[in-house]
Structure formats: C-alpha cells, structure tokens
Amino acid sequence: MNQSQALVYPAAENKKDAEKNSKIETGPTPSQNTIPVRHGTFDTLTQALDYAAKGVTGFNFYSRRGKLLKSIPYSQLRKDARTLARKILYTGTPRGSHMAIVANTHSDFVRFFFACQYAGLVPVPMPIVMHFSGAKGYIKQIKRLLKLSSARLAVATSDYISFLREASKGLNLDLIGSPEEFDRLPESNAKLQSLGPSELAYLQFTSGSTRFPKGVMVSQSAVMNNIHIITGHGINCQNGDRAISWLPFYHDMGLVGLVLATLGSQLSVDFFSTADFAMRPGLWIRLMSENKGTISFSPPFGYELAAMRLRTNDIEKFDLSSWRVAGVGAEMIRPELLEKFADRLSVCGFDSKAFMPCYGMAECSLAVSFSEVGQGLKIDKVDLQKLAENNEIAKLEQDVSNGPKIKEFVRCGQLLPGFEAQIRDQEGQMVPDGQCGTLFLKGPSIMEGYFNDPEATKEVLSPEGWLNTGDIAYISDSEIVITGRSKDLIIINGRNIWPQDIEYLAETMKEVRIGDACAFSVTDPQGRERAVVVVQFRNSNGTNPQAFVDRLKGLIATELGIDCHVEIVPKNTLVRTTSGKPSRSGTKKRCLKRGLIRLA
C-alpha cells in the first residue's frame, strides 16, 4: 500500500483558486542572505529567530499545484510571533504550561510555535493524519494526546478546529480556538519572558503507538545542540543553500530538521504538505528544480514514490544539479530504491553522491549520525546466515553463485560531535567487534525523559544518561549501521506502527483470548516490510476462520490505516517470556522456521 492509499486527510487548506495556477512562483525570501551564516550557535530558539530576523530569508508555503500561498521572512515571523505571544499571555495561562498546536503544514503553525517560545509556554505539535477510521478515530487520538500532554491551550486552523473542539470536550482547557480567535485577544502588558536554556523547548509525541503514545521532553539546550551539529557538522549549511520539504511538522525529522534547523542556520525553506506529496510526488522534484533547492530529506519510500510516479517527459525538463544533500532516514534504508531514483533522475542532473544516509530519533532531539557530504551510499554486504544465527557481522565482497546468502546494509555515517555509542547484548554487556547488538547512546541532545511517565523513562534512560535506542546495530569503520529493531517497531511507508496496537485490536475479537495475539513485521519476497499478526484462534462458536480473518483485517485497516496480514496458528505456537507474555521475536522466529506465515 503506498502513502496515498494508506492515509486519508481532511480537505486541504489550498482552495480552488490556488489549484488553478500550476506555475511555481519563487517566494520573496531569497536563498542568498545578507547576514553571515551561524550554525545554530544560540542558547534558545528565540535567540535563533532573533538573529535570523536580521536577514532576508524565511519560510514559504506552496499549494499542491505549486502556487505560492504565503511567504514569511524571518523578520516578519519574529514580529508576528511576539505580538501573538502577548495575546496568549492575556489568557493568564501560567508560564511553562503546554499549548497543543494541530500541526498541519500552514504558516500559522510556525507562528504559534514561536509565540509559545516568546511567551514562556511549551508547544505540543499534534498530528493531523487520519486513517480510515475518519473523524471519530482522529478525535479519539487527539483527546488522548490532549490528556497526556496536560495542555492548557489548544489551536487548530479551520480544517481541523471542529475536530479539536470535539476532542477537548470535558477536558477543561483554558482556551480552544482558531488562529483568528487567538488573534482577536487583546495584548497583555506583561513583559515577554522567553523560554530559557534549561527549560523545555517543546513536547513531541513519538510517532508510534496511538494507544500508548509517549511525550518526549526536549529541552532548549538539547535541541540547540542538535541544530548546531546538524547544520555545522552534518550538512555544513552555506549561504545560498535552500531547503525543500514535504515532511510533516509533527514528526521529528520535519520539525527539527526542516523547520528548526533551517531557521537556526538562517536558510530559506519551501514547504508543501505531506498529503499533497502523496497525491503529487512530482511537485517535490519540480520545486527542487525550479527553486534551485540544495537540501531535502525523505524516508526511502519518498524517493521510491517520486521515481515511480514521475513521467520520463517531465524528468527531462528538470534541473537537479543544485541538489547537494539528499538526506535519507526515518526507516530502514533499502539501497535499491535509492539507486532506482538516481538512475531515473541522472538525466536531469541528480548526482547519486548527494545521498546522505543518516540516523536519528526523537529521543535524541533528531540527529545522531550523518554520512559525509558528497559521499553517497556506502553499503556493507553481510553473510545473512552468520548474522541470523550468531549476530556475527561477516562482510563479503560480492555475491557468489552457490555461496552464502547476502544481506545489504547502508552505513549511516559517523556519530555527530558529543555523542557516544555502545553496542550491548541482551544482558547489557558490550559486544566484541564484529557483532551486532542493541545500540545505546549518550550525549547532550538526548531527551530529559517521557512526560509524566517515569516508568517508561526508566526503561530506556539510565541514571548515567545512556539511552537504549531499541535499535539493533553494529559499527563499521566508525560508522553506525542499523540492522533491525529490538523493540519490534513496525514501519510501513514511513509510518511507525507499534505491535501493541495491532495486538490490542485482535484481542477485542471474541475469538481471541488476551495474550493470544502477537504482531511483528516480516520482509516479503519483494524486500518490503509487511505487518503480520499471528493469532491463536478460539473457535468455540463455530465462526468461519476466513470470516474472522477478514473482520480482523478490516478492523486493523479502519483503526490503523494499514494492510496487515492475519495468520491463524495452532495452539501453543506463541513463544512466551518468563512472565507469560508473548515474545514477538521468539514467535516470529518460530513461525518463519515452521513456514506458518504465508504471504500472498
């Protein structure tokens, strides 16, 4: 299922008049700036905006047809955000309170985000994606996040305000409104006291479980450190760079990488929405070409979708010779997808050496490692059997007939300055060189913890500051290589799906006892990650097994918006931990060994 099939969005904010004009207009914020580049060398986000406002660059927002909807120089953003901050203070909401901002790709999101920074409030970006469950499921999700974040204020544009109002019923927030309603408030006479270096910069919910989300607490000092190492050491941003992005503002790569880091290095950015990308992925390439974009990031599926949808006649019209950083991350990297993209677009000047594999996560603000600029893909070929049986990394030079099966892994570059890494086994001991294990990280960009969830924090963050990433990795010539995920996270078309959510839905069926469903991902013959749930089916009422499978598949599609393969397995198939809970890794291994999973 591709991205456009997997997600359903409300009506886009770009109205019919914006759709009529297909001519791309370069925004008034130029790529060349009038002030020296500073690579995020600030104590807070407001200091970063104060400096950026001295120049002429800024944010630009485009419609799905490529029409410029709004352009906001950083100087205007600063002025508007400070004015709005005084209006927000008029509500009397105490300093440090949380404000929920529904994070659609709109100029009002950045205005409210930075108004919170100046007013001393903590912004909480809220997701906009609605799955096939439609409005009811989305309202339920937002209500859960409003509760978990302890939000006192909430705002949404006209496309989402009705959902937000419904979700906030009974929660006793100080004010829920549209941007226009907040703009009508009087300005407070109180002096603006921006968030300081030791205070939270924002609260970001991990893009995984909808039923068990966790709010990542990111301090000003942590995110500013990450911005500095991204722009100064990872990308080496330069005067004249221009970024293009369709990544969602509620995701760490979209928010930190393409909103905060670009502002922190004073770059102009051209935005269009994720929904519009799913419908028209060619717009990404058009904007890169016509606006002379130099920097853009995407999960691998984005490059795949663009290469698949672009017409040969259109490709020949583009000029991608300016694209120097084609970042790729957020999911396991399949090199063949990127190679296909590079092959198709080489005719218009795209250089495969622009690919920059990277690794990061919201718990680290964003970035952990970057490949070297201009290096392209570096691939390790590993003996698959030795990896599977002994966690051994046995590198091979090339495929050999009748030789061992090979698994390819893309190197994600060296650790950014300030980070330390350890590879540990299941007992927490460091593994010897040449083996993979769980990746642990330590550094100044790491979160303070999960909001109001000390138990979840304790599970992943040690008193010494070591973060258990939950990712399986090894070190190759000082570069991080990710081979899998020990926390069983399932990634479908760039979306994180937690297995607990799938298992919960299975256990709501009368034919499934609690603990008799186990979800994980498998790689199909085409090399794609597929969600699978195996169920120990209890047929006490004469239910037709295929009818049960169809109902469960439909329920998962409705609630989570994914196509999940359902497999009925015999009793006692699920492997249990010592506490009696299903072991996902153990069950997956047993099912694959016995040939119980039959993907179509």
The 10s digit of each residue's pLDDT in 531-549 is 999 999 887 667 788 999 9
The DSSP secondary-structure symbol of 471 reads E
Beta strands in 86-138 (DSSP E): 98-102, 122-126
pLDDT at 207 over 60: no
The stretch 197-208 carries a mean pLDDT of 86
The 10s digit of each residue's pLDDT in 138-191 is 888 899 999 999 999 999 999 999 999 999 999 989 999 999 999 999 999 999
The 10s digit of each residue's pLDDT in 332-391 is 787 888 998 999 999 999 999 999 999 999 999 999 999 999 999 998 888 877 776 677
pLDDT of residue 427: 81
pLDDT of residue 592: 87
pLDDT of residue 89: 96
pLDDT of residue 25: 46
Helices 107-119, 74-89: inter-axial angle, 10-degree rounding: 60
CB neighbours of 248 closer than 8 A, spacing ≥ 6? Answer: 103, 105, 127, 128, 129, 254, 274
More confident residue, 209 or 564: 564
Categorize the per-residue pLDDT at 6 as very low, low, confident or very high, splitting at 50, 70 and 90: very low
More confident residue, 200 or 312: 200
pLDDT at 3 over 70: no
pLDDT of residue 211: 57
The stretch 284-297 carries a mean pLDDT of 95
pLDDT of residue 480: 92
Give backbone dihedrals phi and psi of 140, rounded to 5 degrees, phi first. -60, -40
Q: What residues pair up with 60 in beta bridges, in sequence order?
A: 71, 270
Q: Which amino acid is present at 561? A: G
Q: Which two tokens stand for residue 131?
A: 């799955």
pLDDT of residue 543: 74
The answer to whether the beta carbons of residues 154 and 160 sit under 8 Å apart is: no
Residue 152, Ramachandran bin (φ over 0: left; ψ between -120 and 50: alpha; else beta): alpha
Q: How far apart are CA 261 and CA 45, in angstroms?
A: 10
Least confident of 56-65, 216-225, 425-434, 563-572: 425-434
The 10s digit of each residue's pLDDT in 115-146 is 999 999 999 999 887 554 578 878 888 999 99
Q: Which two tokens stand for residue 532?
A: 């699978």
Q: How far apart are CA 180 and CA 84, in angstroms?
A: 11
The answer to whether the beta carbons of residues 469 and 417 sit under 8 Å apart is: no
pLDDT at 404 over 70: no
Predicted structure pTM score: 0.80
Q: Look at the block and give the residue holding tokens 């100046």.
A: 118
Q: Which two tokens stand for residue 208?
A: 């995984």
More confident residue, 7 or 470: 470
pLDDT at 594 over 50: yes
Q: How far apart are CA 268 and CA 473, in angstroms?
A: 35
% of the chain surpassing 90 pLDDT: 57
List domains and CATH numbers for the chain.
3-370 (3.40.50.12780), 498-594 (3.30.300.30)
Q: How far apart are CA 267 and CA 127, in angstroms?
A: 25
The stretch 3-8 carries a mean pLDDT of 32
The DSSP secondary-structure symbol of 259 reads I
Least confident of 29-43, 192-206, 301-315: 301-315
DSSP 209-249: -SSS--EEEEEHHHHHHHHHIIIIIIS---TT-EEEE---T
More confident residue, 10 or 457: 457
CA proximity to 533, closest of 566, 485, 573, 570: 566
Q: Kindly tell me the burial class for residue 554, based on how many C-beta atoms sit within 10 Å of its own C-beta (0-12, 13-18, 19 or more).
A: exposed
pLDDT of residue 508: 86
The 10s digit of each residue's pLDDT in 67-86 is 999 999 999 999 999 999 99
CB neighbours of 517 closer than 8 A, spacing ≥ 6? Answer: 502, 503, 506, 507, 533, 534, 535, 536, 582
CA proximity to 264, closest of 85, 80, 53: 53
pLDDT of residue 218: 96
SS3 439: strand
The answer to whether the beta carbons of residues 506 and 533 sit under 8 Å apart is: yes
Q: How far apart are CA 503 and CA 209, in angstroms?
A: 12
Q: How far apart are CA 347 and CA 350, in angstroms?
A: 7
Q: Which amino acid is present at 594? A: R
Least confident of 11-25, 256-270, 526-540: 11-25
Q: Which amino acid is present at 89? A: L
The answer to whether the beta carbons of residues 483 and 474 sit under 8 Å apart is: yes
Most confident range, picked from 123-132, 280-289, 301-310 = 280-289
pLDDT at 401 over 70: no
Helices 499-507, 545-560: inter-axial angle, 10-degree rounding: 130
The DSSP secondary-structure symbol of 367 reads E
pLDDT of residue 581: 63
Q: How far apart are CA 214 and CA 386, in angstroms?
A: 36
The 10s digit of each residue's pLDDT in 29-54 is 999 999 999 999 999 999 999 999 99
pLDDT of residue 515: 78
pLDDT of residue 497: 75
pLDDT at 478 over 80: yes
Q: List Cα–Cα distances, 97 to 93, 124, 153, 192, 273, in angstroms.
A: 7, 10, 8, 15, 29
pLDDT of residue 41: 95
Categorize the per-residue pLDDT at 12 as very low, low, confident or very high, splitting at 50, 70 and 90: very low
Q: Look at the block and give the residue holding tokens 């081979």.
A: 483
